[in-house]
Amino acid sequence: MSQQGYVAAPPYSQAQPGIGGYQGGFGAPPAQPLYGHYGGPPQGFNAPPAGVMKSPPTSPAGMPPSPVSSQYNPSVQQNGAHPQRYASPSAASPPYGQPSHSVYNNMASPAPPTQQLANQMSAMNLGSYGAMQSQPLPPTSSVAQQHFQTPAPAMGQPQMHPAPQAPHMASQNQMSPPQSPLTNMLASGQPMGGQSMAGPPMGGQSMAGPPMGGQSMAGPPMGGQSMAGPPMGGQSMTGPPMAGMNMPFPGPPPSGQGAFQQHGTGPAAPSGYPQQSGQFGGLMSGPQPGMSGGFPGTSGGLAGPPQKKLDPDSIPSTTQVIEDDKARLGGHVFSTNMRGQVPPLVTTDFTVQDQGNASPRFIRCTTYSLPCTAELAKQCQVPLASVIKPFAKLPKNETPLYVVNHGETGPIRCNRCKAYMCPYMQFIDGGRRYQCSFCNCVSEVPVFYFQHLDHMGRRVDFYERPELSQGSYEFVATLDYCKNNKPPNPPAYIFMIDVSYTNIKSGLVKLVCDELKSLLEKLPREDGAEASAIKVGFVTYNKVLHFYNVKSALAQPQMMVVSDIAEMFVPLLDGFLVNYQDSRAVIYNLLDQIPDMFADTNESETVFAPVIQAGVEAFKAAECSGKLFIFHSSMPTAEAPGKLKNRDDKKLVNTDKEKTLFQPQKGVYEQLSKDCVAQGCCVDLFLFPSQYLDLASMADVPSHTGGSVYKYNNFQVKTNLYVLLLKLATRFFAQCRVCDPPGFRATDFFGAIYMNNTTDVEMAAVDCDKAVTVEFKHDDTLSEESGAFMQCALLYTTISGQRRLRIHNLSLNCTSQLSELYKCCETDSLINFFAKSAYRAILNQPVKNVRDILVNQTAHMLACYRKNCASPSAASQLILPDSMKVFPVYMNSLMKTAPLVGSTELSTDDRAHQRLSVMAMGVEDSQLQLYPRLIPLHNVDVSREAVPDPVRCSEERLSDSGLFLLENGHSIFLWLGQASPPDLIQSLFNAPSLAHLQQEHMFTLPELDNPLSKKVRTIISELLEKRPNSMKLQIVRQRDKLEMLFRQFLVEDKGLHGGASYMDFLCYVHREIRQLLT
């Protein structure tokens, strides 16, 4: 087989024409394929570079905290609506220079009330996260099951065919503990269940069957079924792939067998992941025959006896990983004093103590141990990336960043590479000079900055200077850092409301005007300031623009109309941007009048680009930066720059031209983005569409200026439960630069950003939820001894108009051992990177290629681990690194997301919207998006404060008599089982039974005075408050039509619009890994 593997299955040994390798980015394909696996000789797996050691069969004690997964950490809450939390650190903390020992030391003590464990923690060796025993192996033969232990199936759920006990499993485990529980995942005796393996994970677009219907059927192997049906059509659960843990997998079927034919053939072969080598760099030539990823031969290997049902509990569980991490690290203090420490998961509640490295709230990495060489990176294909959320909110018990002010001198920087003073600079020569850790250049210490060194060679003022002892801090910038060397004016907000016919008639305009009144009261201000320095202005528009003079001296606001929308100008300067406090009366007057002013309008056409242009011009005139809040409903079809036309075409889905659906229309919006960034004009867009409006084009400016797009489909004022969530607290006119160590450089950036050159990220504004994902590549060999340093410097304007630099530093380990690299991976960050890179890639190539590449890379990463790090074991075992145990479920979920799934049933605008919103997400948000929380509420303990633990996102976990909450940061559902007990319905809805629930019940829970109602409403409102987006609660009854909406979030199940179940995907990946290893 192995010979055949090489001979007959060239995909791994030869780059396919036209595919090329990939640079990790999605740019032009490199001349030389970078990754040996895809493009290079097959030896990639056989001959690890010298120095790469297979991991010794060490104990699990060596495992890092398993990264990954999630549960929203309330303390990391990103809710843009709380401007006051943006307290200027300078006010909240002693002026820089003061933080003495005690300041740092006592950070450990303020244990959050929810975290009593912190006391215990203070005594423990904080640096030992990586060395903590993860989970002792249970001694009994039930070990196999325990490893995959998940919460008991939801109420009333029968346990599905438990996996047979494996008498010899325990010993097997002990033989190869490093591989984590997954070691035990033996494939069953049936060749990976022809049906499950054969189906391409994503092939199922055409699946029409009831989504999960037959899941519990344990039918015989159904060759014919899968042939006829969509690749994954055959009920995944019927396949026994994982069932008998003690049954050795008989090895992959001969390559001639139907199921695997695709591997052995060239480009002409129907589909076949292996051929999609390389990553997103190359272009596939021509469409793949065999529908959406084919997998035509599904009958192969199905001749076996009827197969037993697979136990869903036997595969790694995200909720379990999350719970384990919480149990292990929840409530602890994470002290950032060690290089390359893997932090707790984003879902774990922990306290960060900055001791020289940036908090994981600001920077997370795909791995905390970088491969020393490019070859090693190429071999494992683990992307090397950081997800930087520069203004992440800190919980109240963590110290805000210190602000360092060097006065007129400004921040101290390396003479050569311009890196900012940081804990990694080495002082030498008695403290008179320092050596830059980024470029090794030696610079003189300025006289005012001189300080003696102690016996350790450390400056004696080490603890008094944040820039020497902290991972994150800020510098006050000098005029050199200001535009035109002038101090910036405070920023301004302009509210721009579409007052065309539909919006007036629907009541939206009135709603927005009413909401604005209360929002204006919350304008952010610097700590200690009496009023906000931010100025505000108002514009309404349809085919023309109306500017308002709201100068405080006026009794009535005055309107000025600009109808020459081709040459946008601002008709008034004085009185347009005003101080809210001074002009409050006039502004209230205006907001009261606007709905009436346009009550009789017949104008249904709107403009859009001129509206943004007007904002830019206004900021230009006022010489300030700022933000536009635009409330808009329809496609801008009026004759004007940026006019759009309907180009929605479902026929393009699953063709080479599908990418055009995601591409913005060229021209006007491109230039507008540039103008906006140059002026520091960020655009937040609130859309209330009732039909297609070309979101890809309309969102182009927001997605390049650090803005957000909020989309409220079929918005109805009377059932309105949305809160317009305006991110008022924002930093402006930001430029971000990442300094790399020698041998390593940032090559690609993902986010709501604009790149004028290849190194400087520009954002007109940045808020607490926006993250930039940065990919790194080797230039040279990294040193294991010195490690790697990263510095992210962000120059920005505060809400009061002060220019500052925010610096985040992080040091990582470097290793020549793959096992170390894998040990330090973080699944949540990996998936954030993969999501963003895939979502960018679909702008340039067919969605199917992108999915194939994702699967390929998943298999390669895991195969490389198996090959180089795992101790020898049966080929039938699926072995996953502990840190990536649940990586496959996230990857599969990603491939089932709307942008990647390629279904004509999905709205083009929704797909484009999801694509763009993920691009700007931090790790917490992407984790939640890809693995929603499914929280059982029917058995909630009303006396406990905590939210019940989520269960796995699968129909298996639902029960007819259950009540579940599901939420992913964008949508929130309350699902009612059809046999919900009447008293439960009574308590929540004041109705005798489900059948009595009326339409008006479906969007809100009445405020009833009983413990259950209160508890459920509290849980929901807490979730709503935490999320960066506003979410509209939808109540669905089992078997209602709406249930389909709910079910698409059950990401472990087969996708409603295509895509494999988790189980099938895992089987498929396993098969791919085995192919790679043969």
Q: Which residues bind Zn ion (CB under 5 A)?
A: 414, 416-417, 419, 436, 438-439, 441
Alpha-carbon dihedral of residues 873, 874, 877, 879, nearest 10 degrees? 30
Buried b (16+ CB within 10 A) or exposed e, 155-177: bebeebbebbebeebbebbeebb
Residue 439 or 723 with smaller CB distance to Zn ion:
439
State the helix-helix crossing angle for 1011-1026 and 982-989, rounded to 10 degrees. 60
Distance, CA of 844 to CA of 284 (rounded, Å): 10
β-strands 492-498, 626-632: how paired? parallel
Compute CA distances 202 → 231, 233, 764, whole Å: 8, 11, 38
Residue 438 or 631 with smaller CB distance to Zn ion:
438
Residue 439 or 621 with smaller CB distance to Zn ion:
439
Strand order, beta sheet including 426-428: 426-428, 433-435, 442-444
Residue 743 or 950 with smaller CB distance to Zn ion:
743
Min dist. Cβ of residue 416 to Zn ion (A)? 5
Min dist. Cβ of residue 424 to Zn ion (A)? 10
Min dist. Cβ of residue 414 to Zn ion (A)? 3
DSSP letter, residue 413: B
Distance, CA of 392 to CA of 347 (rounded, Å): 15
Min dist. Cβ of residue 813 to Zn ion (A)? 21
Residue 137 or 439 with smaller CB distance to Zn ion:
439
Min dist. Cβ of residue 393 to Zn ion (A)? 31
Q: What are phi and psi of 985, to 5 degrees?
A: -65, -40
Residue 436 or 1067 with smaller CB distance to Zn ion:
436
Cα dihedral 711, 717, 723, 729 sign? positive
Residue 417 or 755 with smaller CB distance to Zn ion:
417
Min dist. Cβ of residue 336 to Zn ion (A)? 22
Residue 415 or 993 with smaller CB distance to Zn ion:
415
β-strands 730-739, 788-797: how paired? antiparallel
Opening angle at CA 684, ends 522 and 770, nearest 5: 85
Alpha helices in 266-396 (DSSP H): 318-329, 374-380
Opening angle at CA 1076, ends 1073 and 1078, nearest 5: 110
Min dist. Cβ of residue 783 to Zn ion (A)? 16
Residues whose CB is less than 8 angstroms from the CB of residue 699 and which lie 6 or more positions away in sequence, other chains included: 664, 685, 709, 912, 913, 916
β-strands 754-755, 788-797: how paired? unpaired
Min dist. Cβ of residue 426 to Zn ion (A)? 11
Buried b (16+ CB within 10 A) or exposed e, 259-272: bbbbbbbebebbbb
What would the two tokens of residue 1048 be? 């698409």
Residue 423 or 706 with smaller CB distance to Zn ion:
423
Residue 438 or 1068 with smaller CB distance to Zn ion:
438
Q: What are phi and psi of 351, to 5 degrees?
A: -110, 135
Residue 402 or 434 with smaller CB distance to Zn ion:
434
Opening angle at CA 191, ends 185 and 192, nearest 5: 50
As a whole number of Å, the end-to-end CA separation of the chain is: 7
3-state SS string for 818-833: HHHHHHCECHHHHHHH
Min dist. Cβ of residue 36 to Zn ion (A)? 33
Distance, CA of 190 to CA of 799 (rounded, Å): 63
Min dist. Cβ of residue 418 to Zn ion (A)? 7
Residues whose CB is less than 8 angstroms from the CB of residue 212 and which lie 6 or more positions away in sequence, other chains included: 955, 1047, 1050, 1053, 1054
Distance, CA of 802 to CA of 916 (rounded, Å): 30
Residue 26 or 438 with smaller CB distance to Zn ion:
438
Residue 440 or 691 with smaller CB distance to Zn ion:
440
Min dist. Cβ of residue 419 to Zn ion (A)? 5
Residues whose CB is less than 8 angstroms from the CB of residue 315 and which lie 6 or more positions away in sequence, other chains included: 148, 185, 242, 1062, 1063, 1066
Min dist. Cβ of residue 740 to Zn ion (A)? 11
**Radius of gyration in angstroms for the set of CA atoms belonging to the chain, rounded to a whole number:** 29
Distance, CA of 26 to CA of 11 (rounded, Å): 21
What would the two tokens of residue 765 be? 């504004």
47 residue type, one letter: A
Residue 421 or 696 with smaller CB distance to Zn ion:
421
Alpha helices in 400-479 (DSSP H): 466-469
User: 854: part of which helix (H) or strand (E)?
Assistant: helix 847-868
Residue 7 or 441 with smaller CB distance to Zn ion:
441
Distance, CA of 550 to CA of 578 (rounded, Å): 7
Residue 446 or 982 with smaller CB distance to Zn ion:
446
Residue 438 or 750 with smaller CB distance to Zn ion:
438
Min dist. Cβ of residue 965 to Zn ion (A)? 51
Residue 434 or 580 with smaller CB distance to Zn ion:
434
Residues whose CB is less than 8 angstroms from the CB of residue 213 and which lie 6 or more positions away in sequence, other chains included: none
Min dist. Cβ of residue 825 to Zn ion (A)? 29
Assign 212 to helix, strand or coil: coil
